[in-house]
């Protein structure tokens, strides 16, 4: 489960992240209950908007900006991984 305090190691095919640990790393662990209560997991997290954050109780503008910057960074890293996987698949396809 993504919200356990002691994060289990993900399975090799499971690229999910521990949202609570992510929040803790940002110094914003006080929002863990709000994320949990609103079913924000590693799949939903990259798509959160400022309005979403407000609706789950992130009222501080500074905290919202920190979260949005970190979410944008997550999107970039996911995008880079997908590009790498696609390039790897393409190159192995043509190297037969």
Res 77: pLDDT:
83
70 pLDDT higher than 90: yes
User: How distant is the alpha carbon of residue 48 from its chain centre?
Assistant: 9
Q: What is the DSSP letter of 31?
A: G
The answer for residues whose C-beta is within 8 angstroms of residue 79's C-beta and 6 or more apart is none
Distance CA 50, CA 68 (A): 7
Structure confidence by residue, pLDDT tens digits, 49-65? 999 999 999 999 999 99
Short-list 21, 36, 28, CA closest to 67: 28
pLDDT bracket for residue 83 (50, 70, 90):
low
Q: Which CATH superfamily is domain 19-82 in?
A: Transcription Factor, Ets-1 (1.10.150.50)
Q: What is the DSSP letter of 10?
A: P
Distance CA 23, CA 1 (A): 15
Going from N- to C-terminal start, the domains of the chain cover 19-82
């Amino acid at each position: 489960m993504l919200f356990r305090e002691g994060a289990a190691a993900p399975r090799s095919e499971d690229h999910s992240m521990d949202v609570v640990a992510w929040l803790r790393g940002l110094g914003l662990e006080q929002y863990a209950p709000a994320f949990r209560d609103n079913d924000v997991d590693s799949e939903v997290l990259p798509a959160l908007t400022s309005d979403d954050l407000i609706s789950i109780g992130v009222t501080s503008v500074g905290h919202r900006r920190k979260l949005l910057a970190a979410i944008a960074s997550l999107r970039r890293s996911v995008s880079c991984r997908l590009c790498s996987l696609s390039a790897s698949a393409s190159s192995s396809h043509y190297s037969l």
